[in-house]
Structure 1
């Protein structure tokens, strides 16, 4: 009798463990060394996140049956130069902290996560130097009137199921402040089929009175992959409006090496007059050592001018580093 009871207990525990589909500890470590020049002054140092931000996290899902799953994810940014937490939005798990459900209807996510508009921007910066410390669009060119919020707290995000290559989603982030409307709403509609990926994104940030519209496309020709993005920001009379353009190309050289180049330009107009213009370019290379480890090198140069054409700021970065995923 006692042995039968133990056997049943073990089987029950095994069944419970099998119901939990997966819990995964994952992360990314990215660190580089380089020389940065700002307004004619050069400094050589170690820098964080040459290709992408270092982070660690936990994600998992439980199979609830009938194609329905419960999902969760917690993710935290890291600065490897010091071992500090890299807070996003001023919070410890500012990169991801959410729970939700997925199934044939798509996916619903509740908590802090990226907005659907950020997915459209990701299409425009698809390659190795275009979402990194070497990206002109992320380092001085875009956002001259105010950059978009890539993540939102207290957010309901819905991702529709893929319908013959058509994908999309909705974002609604609840008001977080008592004295001003800080809600964020967004819309994504895209089409991905084989080598092509096109996306249209919209985001309305009430607190900043900014409305963003992004049209992005990427196409892999085999011998080269191309990406383009056109972004506009409609703002208040005081901040004006932005128009922004990014172009990129990535060329594989053998099985392990990829070379990439990018260009970005932006203009801000206040009261129908140009108040700021910026442009920059980047060159990069990656070498894949394994499925999880790659070496990289890159160069970025950016210049920002005022409405009269006078240089307000300029800077460049030359560096190399290593990224490891686990």
Structure 2
């Protein structure tokens, strides 16, 4: 005798089994992550933003002395045969005030993208870092510390342009015998001007585990539809060449960068330094950056910094940093992204002590 109830139960059980099998085959994960970084900053001189003169010493609590404070959500789904769908939403904030910081000023102003990753490489669409910015990060001996590193020169010249690229599509090749390439195209445009805010970037890197060499370019127009609270569409051309070599626990890095900013400096920046992991819980690093304006060589600066990190655990780090910058002419290089981005003429010394926790 046919039992309708038994049939319904078998049908539901079969459907549930198929759904479960599909879920097992296409595994997915979502991760919440972040960095909380805060510290104390002292500088012997401070820029008066109104007069452009020295406003005297400062001692203050700042956000993000070493790493940008941020939180984000990252997800991935295994689609099979090596293909994955990925996404990331990342926001920058100030541990000192709770406001948006270390971003373009929007809620997810650091990264907001979706991607496909597979044997062919990686295709990504949305707000993302440019190949030019990532290449500079790879050749910086102080890992882009927000105090006394190459990123201070970067932001001093072009604010967030090239770091946070809105309306962008990028492609990164798979690693082939140590070589990897990446290109980015950010669609700008506005009524009557499709070139406004348009941005291009490309990089090429070779890395065999000991030796790394990279090169990258960036070209960006002003304006467009990607306007944000923090400027990310300053018109400039960027070029860089970097190298790194690892000798056991010691890594040496050097780089050349040119920032040709429309209506401002055409700066060559020569940098280099060392990073030494003295103990599994103790790291030392230092670097020197010389900047010269090709349009007016009287405008030049020298910045040097030393830093140490003590890892209390895998997630919590104490750090200390000291730096000095010397500006001539109209050059205004500062010491810290937060609290001392722009400097004054003459010599300024600074110290930053802080704590960083990752989760």
**TM-score (structure 2 length as normaliser):** 0.81
Aligned to 1:217: 243
**1:150 is aligned to 2:157:** no
Contact 2:270 2:290 in 1 (8 A): yes
CA 1:151–1:144 in 2, change beyond 3 Å: closer, same or farther? closer
> C-alpha separation between the residues in 2 aligned to 1:119 and 1:144?
17
- Within the candidate set 166, 176, 183, 1:170 is matched to 183
Q: How many residues align?
A: 319
Aligned to 2:229: none
Aligned to 2:277: 252
**1:23 is aligned to 2:23:** no
The structure carrying a bigger strand percent of its residues is 1
1:76-115 mapped onto 2 (5 Å cutoff): 76-86=91-101, 88-115=103-130
> C-alpha separation between the residues in 2 aligned to 1:196 and 1:160?
19
Unaligned runs of 5+ residues in structure 1 are none
> 153-162 or 315-324: which moved more?
315-324
1:1-326 mapped onto 2 (5 Å cutoff): 1=6, 4=10, 7-8=13-14, 10-18=16-24, 19-37=26-44, 38=46, 39=54, 41-86=56-101, 88-127=103-142, 130-139=143-152, 141=153, 146=158, 148-178=161-191, 181-207=196-222, 208-236=234-262, 238-270=263-295, 273-306=296-329, 312=345, 314-326=347-359
CA 1:242–1:15 in 2, change beyond 3 Å: closer, same or farther? same
> 168-177 or 10-19: which moved more?
10-19
**TM-score (structure 1 length as normaliser):** 0.89
Please tell me whether Structure 1 or Structure 2 has the larger radius of gyration of its CA atoms.
2
SS at match of 1:84: coil
The one-character-per-residue Cα deviations of 1:72-115 (angstroms, maximum 9, x if unpaired) are 11000111112222262232111110111111110000000001
Unaligned runs of 5+ residues in structure 2 are 1-5, 47-53, 223-233, 332-343
> C-alpha separation between the residues in 2 aligned to 1:230 and 1:260?
19
1:17, CA displacement in angstroms?
A: 3.9
CA 1:32–1:143 in 2, change beyond 3 Å: closer, same or farther? closer
> C-alpha separation between the residues in 2 aligned to 1:252 and 1:276?
36
> C-alpha separation between the residues in 2 aligned to 1:289 and 1:213?
38
> C-alpha separation between the residues in 2 aligned to 1:252 and 1:142?
26
> C-alpha separation between the residues in 2 aligned to 1:177 and 1:262?
41
Aligned to 2:335: none
1:234, CA displacement in angstroms?
A: 3.4
1:125, CA displacement in angstroms?
A: 1.3
> C-alpha separation between the residues in 1 aligned to 2:178 and 2:289?
28
Contact 1:274 1:307 in 2 (8 A): no
> C-alpha separation between the residues in 2 aligned to 1:116 and 1:86?
22
Contact 1:269 1:275 in 2 (8 A): no
The one-character-per-residue Cα deviations of 1:128-176 (angstroms, maximum 9, x if unpaired) are xx4123224333x456654652121010011100001001100100014
1:116, CA displacement in angstroms?
A: 0.8
